[in-house]
Amino acid sequence: MSLQEKVMTEMKAAMKAKNTVALESLRAIKSAILLAQTDKGGGGELSEDDEVKLVQKLVKQRKDSATIFMEQGRTDLAEPELAQVAVIEQFLPEQLTEEEIEKVVVQTIDSIGASGMRDMGKVMGMVSKELAGQADGKTISSIVKAKLSS
């Protein structure tokens, strides 16, 4: 079942349950899917990787917005954003823990023989490709920096 089909199924359930937060979140995903399909040209289907990247982007946008709202003391605006994050994250693959990410980073550093911060780009590229959809780029980056600088 494609992401679009899953979203449509969940939208029907959210409409029946009158769950406005879920409905708003699901509509955002549907809208992003349709935009991505039309950007590619003739209404082509999105690959699974493209779908994961799209959902990750939506989650990141909402987390960033919530952070900004919290910094400004606007919890009334941050809470709906975080509620939408919870709904949207259901469509991402299982997220890895920091310990699991750290293991992959250490293995990658050992396999390519990275020795300092100058190798960060190589390590980030390989780890990001391997953990696509399973870890946040910011988390990966902080772990890679810590391992390469020590």
pLDDT digits (tens, 9 = 90+) for 21-65: 999 999 999 999 888 888 766 566 778 888 888 898 999 999 999
- pLDDT, tens digit (0-9, with 9 covering 90-100), for 65-75: 999 999 999 99
Record the tokens describing residue 10, joined without a space.
């969940």
| pLDDT value, residue 42 | 53
CA distance 113 to 92: 32
Query: CA-to-CA distance for 150 and 90, rounded, in angstroms?
Result: 35
pLDDT at 95: 83
| Contacts of range 31-39, beta carbons closer than 8 Å, 24 or more positions apart | 32/57, 32/58, 33/3, 33/4, 33/7
Phi-psi region of 41 (alpha: psi -120 to 50; beta: other; left: phi over 0): left
Structural domains of the chain ordered from first start: 3-91 (1.10.1510.10), 98-149 (1.10.10.410)
